[in-house]
Amino acid sequence: MTHYPLTTPSGAASKQLIERGKQFWTQNYAPRSMILDHGKGSVVWDKDGNDYIDLGSGIAVCSLGHQEPDLVAALEQQARKLWHTSNIFYTEPPIELAEKLVNLTPFAKRVYFCNSGAEANEAAIKIIRKWAANQGRSPHEREIISFTGSFHGRTVASVTATAQPKYHEGFEPLPAGFTYCDPFNDLEALEKLITPKTAAIILEPIQGEGGIIPAKRDFLRGVRALCDKHNILLVVDEIQCGMGRTGILFAHTYAEDLRPDMMTLAKALGCGVPIGATLVGEKLEHILQVGTHGSTYGGNPIMCAVASVALDKLASPMLMMNVQQRSQEIFQRFAKMNERLGMFREIRGRGLMIGAELIPALHNKAAAISEHARTYGVLVLVAGPNVLRLLPPLNITKTELDTGMARLEEALASYVY
């Protein structure tokens, strides 16, 4: 049985693997000094046998937890049939998945499949520009507005759409055609930026990396109205906040009847296997023609077979009820915790996408607190230097959540600052 906090260093086998990782990987990540070995439900174990309640889900990816039996069965079944064919041929899984997505999404007409969220947004950027070109707009009239605090990926184009300078540094020259609105949730500031050069607005219904900042309902509706007024496109990036994360399948539908022109998905769409999707509405359904865009692995039959089963489960009303119940418990637990410890300025979010902003005395300590929590057997994320981020599996049980929150509270109570 594991005793927390962990005081013993990793075992010899783990140390050796960690050192090999440090030797052979590029240095763009800073992994924790542990080797995760296996998982079940909302619990993962390291190679030394220590268990952890996973309140991060691989950054909102493993939304059905680990080793979900139906997902494992779907992967195994398709792996024994056909792994890959390229997009020169039809296969059944991507057809079924595309049909399900369109039927579940009121605005969507067609789907483009790729491998990740960054690629889904890259496709969205290309579709915006091609749409503008088809309208006779010059290259200078294809500008995209995004918002301060946003995160849209790390390809050269999607990182430029990401309105956070820290992600741009050293990668200049960045491509032209992007403008940033500051602040988020401010319609007046947005309208001042719209010019005849503007072709689209891209936003996250809840900013993830920017600190778990929900878009206000009236703001979302106002953005749609501005897009209609100026004949520009609205793109919603639901890569982190979509697929049931907020207690509804797609987070933008928090603003009832909102119809974007395009939506990007990834992360929980595959619940652990790599897949992304760009969904387009009627205005854009004929923009991508043969040869205009593509992805070697896009629509891979194994990924789509797993994602199809995942989508069925993520769209379940019972699962959404669990999200709402567990969300309420987390907010209540944080409120009581803060009465005792006084460490948070604000707790915000929707569903199981929750950010706990630290008080000024703890600014720049989110990463250190997250690592301290790990030694107490609970895995939590950060959203910038001042926000602890919780993205647990959507099917997390009450028992698993109670254990995780108890461990987190114990970790916070013992954190010295």
Return the SS3 of 247. coil
> Is the pLDDT assigned to residue 145 strictly greater than 70?
yes
**Dist CA 282 CA 9 (whole Å):** 57
68 vs 65: CA distance, rounded Å: 6
Domain boundaries, the chain: 12-67+317-414, 69-314
Examine domains 12-67+317-414 and 69-314 and report if their fold is the same.
no
User: pLDDT-derived band of residue 1, with 50, 70 and 90 as boundaries?
Assistant: low
Per-residue pLDDT tens digits for 169-188: 999 999 999 999 999 999 99
Q: Within 13 A of 294's CA, how many CA atoms are on the CB side?
A: 8
- 144 phi, psi to nearest 5 deg: -115, 130
Q: Which ranges of 56-91 would DSSP assign to H, the alpha helix?
A: 57-60, 69-79
Over residues 122-146, the mean pLDDT reads 97
User: Of 149, 146, 86, 155, which Cα lies nearest the Cα of 116?
Assistant: 155
Instruction: Look up residue 235 and give its amino acid.
Output: V
d(CA 116, CA 139): 27
pLDDT tens digit sequence for 250-307: 999 999 989 999 999 999 999 999 999 999 999 999 999 999 999 999 999 999 999 9
Predicted pLDDT at 12: 84
Q: What is the mean pLDDT of residues 349-377?
A: 97
pLDDT in tens, 44-90: 999 999 999 999 999 999 999 999 999 999 999 999 999 999 999 99
pLDDT at residue 94, rounded to an integer = 98
pLDDT at site 80: 98
Architecture of domain 69-314: 3-Layer(aba) Sandwich (3.40)
Binning pLDDT at 50, 70 and 90, where does residue 417 land? confident
Q: Please tell me whether residue 201 adopts helix, strand or coil conformation.
A: strand
Contact 378, 404 (CB under 8 A): yes
> Using 50, 70 and 90 to split pLDDT, how confident is the model at 13?
confident
Rounded distance, CA 59 to CA 29, Å? 14
Alpha-carbon distance of 394 to 320, in angstroms, equals: 8
Q: Which two tokens stand for residue 118?
A: 């960054």
pLDDT (0 to 100) of residue 3? 80
Query: Topology of domain 12-67+317-414, per CATH?
Result: Aspartate Aminotransferase, domain 1 (3.90.1150)
Query: pLDDT at position 137, please?
Result: 97
Contact 352, 245 (CB under 8 A): yes
pLDDT averaged over every residue in the chain? 97
Average pLDDT over residues 319-343: 98
Closest to 371 in 3D by CA, of 313, 307, 415, 316: 415
* CA atoms of 116 and 112, how far apart (whole Å): 12
Mean pLDDT for the stretch of residues 131-144: 97
Q: How confident is the model at residue 7 (pLDDT cuts 50, 70, 90)?
A: confident
Task: Render pLDDT for 202-238 as a digit per residue (tens, 0 to 9).
Answer: 999 999 999 999 999 999 999 999 999 999 999 999 9
State yes or no: cis peptide before 173, omega within 30 of 0. Answer: yes
Q: What are the structure tokens assigned to 67, written together? A: 């080793």
pLDDT tens track for 322-331: 999 999 999 9
Structure tokens at 98: 């595309």
Percent of the chain with pLDDT strictly greater than 90: 96
Residues near 219 by beta carbon (within 8 Å), at least 6 away in sequence? 185, 186, 187
- Could you tell me the CA-to-CA distances from 268 to 50, 127, 310 in Å, in that order? 26, 23, 8
> What pLDDT is recorded for position 285?
97
Provide mean pLDDT across the span 383-402. 98
